[in-house]
């Protein structure tokens, strides 16, 4: 599929089978469950320090999930983009990394 960018350049949108999709979905499901648990803790007015500890675990789980997605993206999408000289994909990766690391 050819996509026109905001800059007027065209590039091919890459679709790949990502090897870690099931693992990512499992991680996200667990993080959602933990976050719902944190929400209940707040509703039940649990101790703030306990809530913060559980919330930090959710944040760590999401960060680790992001690392898996990033690794998969680099190993597959970016390799393909590099082979096809898709500079926009490389720029998008840099933007995504900047936002992810904030």
DSSP state of 8: S
Domain spanning 20-101, CATH architecture: Up-down Bundle (1.20)
Q: Model's pTM, two decimal places?
A: 0.70
- pLDDT tens, residue order, the chain (102 aa): 334 444 444 444 555 566 788 999 999 999 999 999 999 999 999 999 999 999 999 999 999 999 998 888 888 788 888 888 888 888 888 898 888 887
Structure token pair of residue 14: 């890459």
Instruction: Render 3-30 in DSSP notation, one character per residue.
Output: EE-TTS-EEEPP----TTHHHHHHHHHH
pLDDT for 73 equals 84
């Amino acid at each position: 599929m050819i996509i026109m960018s905001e800059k007027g350049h065209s590039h091919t949108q890459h679709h790949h089978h990502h090897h870690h999709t099931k693992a990512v979905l499992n991680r996200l499901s667990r993080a959602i469950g933990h976050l719902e648990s944190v929400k209940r803790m707040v509703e039940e007015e649990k101790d703030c320090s306990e809530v913060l500890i559980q919330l930090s675990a959710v944040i760590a789980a999401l960060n680790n999930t992001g690392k898996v997605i990033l690794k998969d993206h680099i190993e597959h999408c970016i390799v393909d983009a590099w082979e096809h000289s898709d500079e926009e994909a490389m720029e998008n990766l840099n933007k995504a990394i900047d936002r992810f690391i904030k």
